[in-house]
């Protein structure tokens, strides 16, 4: 079975500062990894995904994530955040042959001016 | 394409009342899912469907029933609502195992049970 841990429930940061949102997963098999974003009062939308190949994945809105198999991590980064990046971010994992996504509990990113 | 739509957007129920939440998708996806979102608990899977006419239990199925009579629709029913079912409900769809379980979400339904 797979599981996901998002270590930080909240991350406050000032505008134009860099940010890293942490995600660790557990699985005995190879995995697919996702980051979703949820803006206030909206549904989730896909930011980026890792399926295979290059471990550095670029997504929408200037976000990127790096898959690290040895550390079982998939941390999300942005070099310079904007007020509009204030949202909840969810890491998720699935495995070949399974039929569900397993979500972390989410990290609330709050960007201050 | 409208993507995934949910009806209604908001609803207030009294304890013991029943209701049905409707999810519709126009992407011809095989898989559909119902989640609930509560503060600090992330998304929890209630029920899901891997195709028309099929349903399966998720992590928190008690108190809910579902039906998938048509491929594009997935209904979530509460037969006797309880205050513990106050939550935001999200529907999602995807191609499941054929597409890495990537999912597309609706805008949510905010349900309050008093």
Q: What is the pLDDT of residues A17-54, one digit of tens each?
A: 999 999 999 988 888 999 999 999 899 999 999 998 89
Look at residue A110 and tell me whether its pLDDT is greater than 90: yes
Q: B46-80: buried (b, 16+ CB within 10 Å) or exposed (e) per residue? A: bbbbeeeeebeebebbeebebebeebeebbbebee
Q: Which of B41, B51, B101, B104 to mutate to test the interface with A (most CBs of A within 10 A)?
A: B101
* Residue B1, pLDDT above cutoff 80: no
Instruction: Decide if pLDDT at A98 tops 90.
Output: no
Mean pLDDT computed over every residue of chain B: 94
Does residue A95 have a pLDDT over 90? Answer: no
A90 touches chain B (CB under 8 A): yes
What pLDDT is attached to residue B24?
Answer: 98
Residue, of A97 and B72, whose pLDDT is higher = B72
pLDDT tens, A48-71? 999 988 999 999 999 999 999 999
φ, ψ for residue B98 (rounded to 5)? -80, -10
Percent of chain B with pLDDT over 90: 88
Chain A residue whose CA is closest to B6: A43
pLDDT, residue A2, reads 84
**B43 interaction partners in chain A (CB closer than 8 Å):** 44, 90, 103
B residues 34..73 contacting A (CB < 8 A): 40-43, 45, 48, 50, 58
Q: Which residues of B touch A107 (CB under 8 A)?
A: none
What's the pLDDT at B4?
Answer: 96
| B55 vs B74: CA distance, rounded Å | 9
Residue B10 contacts A, CB cutoff 8 Å? no
Mutate to test the interface with B, among A3, A99, A105 (most CBs of B within 10 A): A99
| Mean of pLDDT values over A71-100 | 93
In whole angstroms, give the CA distance from residue B6 to residue B107: 7
Cβ <8 Å between A90 and B41: no
Report d(CA B50, CA A45) in Å as an integer.
21
Q: What is the pLDDT of residues B36-49, one digit of tens each?
A: 999 888 899 999 99
Mean pLDDT value across chain A: 94
Rounded mean pLDDT, B23-47: 94
Q: What is the pLDDT of residue A6?
A: 95
Instruction: Give the mean pLDDT of B53-78.
Output: 96
């Amino acid at each position: 079975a797979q599981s996901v841990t998002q270590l930080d429930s909240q991350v406050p940061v000032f505008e134009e500062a860099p940010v890293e949102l942490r995600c660790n997963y557990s699985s005995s098999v190879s995995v697919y990894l996702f980051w979703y974003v949820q803006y206030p009062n909206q549904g989730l939308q896909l930011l980026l995904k890792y399926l295979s190949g290059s471990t550095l994945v670029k997504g929408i809105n200037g976000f990127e994530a790096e898959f690290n198999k040895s550390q079982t991590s998939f941390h999300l980064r942005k070099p310079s955040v904007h007020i509009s990046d204030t949202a909840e971010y969810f890491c998720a994992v699935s495995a070949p042959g399974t039929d569900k996504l397993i979500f972390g509990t989410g990290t609330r990113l709050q960007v201050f001016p | 394409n409208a993507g995934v739509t949910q009806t209604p957007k908001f609803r207030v129920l009294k304890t013991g009342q029943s209701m049905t939440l409707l999810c519709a998708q126009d992407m011809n996806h095989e898989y559909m899912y119902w989640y609930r979102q509560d503060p600090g608990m992330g998304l929890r899977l209630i029920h899901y469907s891997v195709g028309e006419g099929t349903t399966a239990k998720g992590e928190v199925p008690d108190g809910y029933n579902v039906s998938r009579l048509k491929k594009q629709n997935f209904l979530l029913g509460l037969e006797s609502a309880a205050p513990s079912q106050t939550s935001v409900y999200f529907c999602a769809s995807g191609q499941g195992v054929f597409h890495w379980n990537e999912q597309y979400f609706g805008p949510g339904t905010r349900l309050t049970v008093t």
